[in-house]
Structure 1
Amino acid sequence: MRVSSLVAALATGGLVAATPKPKGSSPPGAVDANPFKGKTQFVNPAWAAKLEQTKKAFLARNDTVNAAKTEKVQQTSSFVWVSRIAELSNIDDAIAAARKAQKKTGRRQIVGLVLYNLPDRDCSAGESAGELSSDKNGLEIYKTEFVKPFADKVAAAKDLDFAIVLEPDSLANLVTNLGIEFCANAAPVYREGIAYAISSLQQPNVHLYIDAAHGGWLGWDDNLPLAAKEFAEVVKLAGEGKKIRGFVTNVSNYNPFHAVVRENFTEWSNSWDESHYASSLTPFLEKEGLPARFIVDQGRVALPGARKEWGEWCNVAPAGFGPAPTTRVNNTVVDALVWVKPGGESDGECGLAGAPKAGQWFDEYAQMLVENAHPSVVHKW
């Protein structure tokens, strides 16, 4: 059971006035404070606009209940993905929208961004292969044409906070998938690229979270110390004094934070939901001198019985939008629940018949996520 689950998992505008200061601004020197506390997580209007199609589909069936639920989803914060050089403008759009919201509410905004464009990206699965290749000067292009302008943009927006997710799935592949030649060849590129991103994003308003996959991938007892060592190597490579806030788990996956029902395929793992995974990984991170702080993606959560094993990761059904983003969590090492993956965007041409390519809008799936949405999305805490 454990072996089969593990093998399957491997496949896988205007400036804000300087005074008064927005509520939620961190006091000087408060480096250990939870950056999400007292702030408003950014609601991405570009993603909300895509859900208009979903709402119209419900209204066309006279389903006013789910149309109203869709409106609640549209008001829920989610991360902005920057997955290609051409998408760097997404940062500008997010900054302008966050400033507008901050000016309107007087509350400090924290904008979630995903930095996702390593050369030879997605070396084991390939559904989300990127635009850069290490064979074609990809690492240098990544540094100069992607990471540097990314860093410059967030550094200039000192009136906002940013929570930045670094390169989903990348280091996890180096923990478990070096037997795949493409991943083995990509390993030094991944390490150097992420280390460069860490060193480039050292701003007081920027909070970095390295991707740590999920409990079904790295949560096994044998993988936990290997994962911590891999993360420590990359942080060390970033240079002395370079810091991260912590780690992000479950990006684009379907694991619950607190499992209501423990699935049979988790039987042999202590990391049987993402809260347990964070707790399982914590002592190994601390042993390596790393900060054991987490954010957990709950943008999509599989319904009990939806999967036969953790390795099912593509357009899993049935699923629903997970718990609403919040800092009210029952785990002292977790900063916040967040929605990193924008629900409704396909995982790839897999999982369900008719699924479009990775990243394209899959409205039938979005409708299912709304129908099965966690109650907290409709009745926000």
Structure 2
Amino acid sequence: MTHHLPRTVLPAAAVALVLGLAAPATASPAPPATAAGHTLPAGTRFYVDPDSDAAHQAVTDLKNHDLAGAATMAKLASWPEATWFTGGTPAEVRTQVAKLMRDAGRTGTVPTLVAYNIPLRDCSLYSAGGAQSDAEYQAWIKAFAQGIGNGKAVVVLEPDGLANLPSDCGPASDPTGVLTAGRIADLNTAVDALEGQPGTSVYLDAGNSHWKSVGDIAQRLLQAGVARTQGFSLNVSNNLATDLNTHYGTWVSTCLWFATKGPAWANGHADSCAGQYYSSAAPNDGLPGNAVDPDDPSTWHWTDQWFQQNAGTPPTGQLTHFVVDTSRNGRGAWTPPQGKYSGDPQIWCNAPGRGIGARPTADTGVPLVDAYLWVKTVGQSDGQCNRSVPGGTIDPEYGAVDPAAGAWWPEQAQSLVQNAVPALTFNLNLH
């Protein structure tokens, strides 16, 4: 993010033209927002960073006379991905965000930004880091919002921040609850600061369909101020199939309505909602198919039935919207060979054989899904996974030590593109 646009446009554009993959397109204004300024029009075009990892890899491959590799990376570099902001001082993040907004503004496109600096981030594991205190974070996120200004932007707010509260990190991680209370306060401050900008669409991260139960995450979303945002985000940096996340997200959205606008007895009781792990509408008698199984969507009709019985059909206009990260879910979740690992195989971490999913778009065709986005940078490592092999540092799936979290991994990028579903083509809607 240190170069100016005229210098950084060259790599991706040059590689594309050399390889005959694209012709220059003319910039056009971003679609107008609604009066509220927070809903994404279906025709929204998202910002493509000309200085991305993939763009630089395309140039490297071209210099090394790897035309096939360069073509693959040029195609990847033509698609919009989110920009992550993970630290720095308030002044630094304000400057960095403002620069991104200017770059996007020149192309008439909408950037997707990820705010990822919450204290005790990732339970101090693979992606450890974050602000050192609640006060430090709140100053940082207010500066982040100031950097956005009046422009149109999408913000994915603190991946895993709600699904991995300090109280979830271990039995002794937050004995008094003060750290979790601070987390909720931080997120509420962030919501108010970001939503105070007229063109910012904020999505509070809610994990994914194989993590927190519907009622649990809905309750956390309410506590963090989701009612004051555009909605929530799902599947960030994960590879669960889009249809599973859409199904789960619809339940979460309906649960939010149920606990706030539903029957009087349900007020404040998001924890009563059925979900992907349990539904009281099912027989739950131990017979196959008679209970909800998070790994068997054919059983999810029991949860659908619970919502039909208890929530009915809520008014569409009162349901909370969401976005789904499709950057690595084209082939769905990874299932390790049975018996290969005795411990946690870390199916979320640098899962092998995965592929890019649906292309970024605000025209999803699903009423509650505002956009499919590439939130996780395609080709960046999740961390140094070891599949829970005691004392192991090597990832058995790759036979080597994985790159550190956030590091560019060219081989993984190539694999994700090669396995894309549908097959990855060049983005012809470039500015």
- SS of the equivalent of 1:340 reads coil
Q: Partners in 1 of 2:345 and 2:319 — Cα distance?
A: 27
Counterpart residue identity of residue 366, structure 1: A
| Structure 1 residue 154: Cα displacement | 0.8
| Structure 1 residue 93: Cα displacement | 3.2
Residue 137 of structure 2 corresponds to residue 142 of structure 1: yes
- SS of the equivalent of 1:200 reads helix
Residue 351 of structure 2 corresponds to residue 297 of structure 1: no
Q: Partners in 2 of 1:181 and 1:29 — Cα distance?
A: 43
Q: Per-residue displacement from partner, 1:342-374 (whole Å, max 9, x unpaired)? A: 111111111543211111111221121122123
Identity of aligned residues (%): 28
Q: Partners in 2 of 1:230 and 1:364 — Cα distance?
A: 37
Residue 107 of structure 2 corresponds to residue 101 of structure 1: yes
- Unaligned 5+ residue runs, structure 1? 1-12, 15-20, 103-108, 237-241, 259-272
- SS of the equivalent of 1:370 reads helix
Q: Partners in 1 of 2:79 and 2:70 — Cα distance?
A: 15
Counterpart residue identity of residue 404, structure 2: K
Among residues 177, 196, 199, which one is paired with 2:168 in the alignment?
A: 177
Q: 1:346/1:30 Cα in 2 relative to 1: closer, same or farther (>3 Å)?
A: closer
Q: 1:216/1:58 Cα in 2 relative to 1: closer, same or farther (>3 Å)?
A: farther
User: Retained in 2: the 8 A contact 1:232–1:288?
Assistant: no
Counterpart residue identity of residue 45, structure 1: P
Q: 1:313/1:368 Cα in 2 relative to 1: closer, same or farther (>3 Å)?
A: same
Counterpart residue identity of residue 218, structure 2: A
Higher helix residue share: 1
Counterpart residue identity of residue 217, structure 1: W
Instruction: Tell me which residue corresponds to 1:91.
Output: 97
Q: Per-residue displacement from partner, 1:222-247 (whole Å, max 9, x unpaired)? A: x21121111111218xxxxx720000
| Structure 1 residue 311: Cα displacement | 5.0
Among residues 413, 425, 428, which one is paired with 1:366 in the alignment?
A: 413
Q: 1:375/1:142 Cα in 2 relative to 1: closer, same or farther (>3 Å)?
A: same
Among residues 337, 350, 357, which one is paired with 2:404 in the alignment?
A: 357
- SS of the equivalent of 1:294 reads strand
User: Retained in 1: the 8 A contact 2:54–2:76?
Assistant: no
User: Retained in 1: the 8 A contact 2:356–2:417?
Assistant: yes
Among residues 279, 283, 286, which one is paired with 2:254 in the alignment?
A: 283
Instruction: Tell me which residue corresponds to 1:194.
Output: 187
Structure whose CA Rg is larger: 2
TM-score, normalised to structure 1's length? Answer: 0.76
Q: 1:185/1:51 Cα in 2 relative to 1: closer, same or farther (>3 Å)?
A: farther
TM-score, normalised to structure 2's length? Answer: 0.67
Q: 1:131/1:244 Cα in 2 relative to 1: closer, same or farther (>3 Å)?
A: closer
User: Retained in 1: the 8 A contact 2:36–2:198?
Assistant: no
Q: Partners in 2 of 1:71 and 1:312 — Cα distance?
A: 29
Q: Partners in 2 of 1:318 and 1:58 — Cα distance?
A: 25
- Unaligned 5+ residue runs, structure 2? 6-27, 261-317, 337-343, 387-394
| Structure 1 residue 43: Cα displacement | 0.9
Q: Partners in 2 of 1:305 and 1:317 — Cα distance?
A: 10
User: Retained in 1: the 8 A contact 2:43–2:362?
Assistant: no
| Structure 1 residue 45: Cα displacement | 2.4
User: Retained in 1: the 8 A contact 2:121–2:128?
Assistant: yes
Instruction: Tell me which residue corresponds to 2:204.
Output: 210
User: CA RMSD of the aligned region, Å?
Assistant: 2.9
Among residues 69, 74, 79, which one is paired with 1:71 in the alignment?
A: 74
Q: Partners in 2 of 1:331 and 1:71 — Cα distance?
A: 30
For residues 1-381 of structure 1, the aligned pairs below 5 Å read: 22-29=29-36, 34-47=39-52, 49-53=53-57, 56-57=60-61, 60=64, 62=66, 64=68, 66-85=69-88, 88=93, 89-102=95-108, 109-123=109-123, 126-133=125-132, 138-144=133-139, 146-155=140-149, 158=150, 160-174=151-165, 177=168, 179-182=170-173, 186-201=179-194, 202-218=196-212, 223-235=213-225, 243-258=228-243, 273-289=244-260, 291-301=319-329, 303=331, 306-308=334-336, 311-350=346-385, 352=395, 353-375=400-422, 377-378=424-425
| Structure 1 residue 338: Cα displacement | 0.4
Q: Partners in 2 of 1:318 and 1:185 — Cα distance?
A: 41
Q: Partners in 1 of 2:62 and 2:211 — Cα distance?
A: 36
Instruction: Tell me which residue corresponds to 1:261.
Output: none
- SS of the equivalent of 1:143 reads helix
User: Retained in 2: the 8 A contact 1:314–1:348?
Assistant: yes
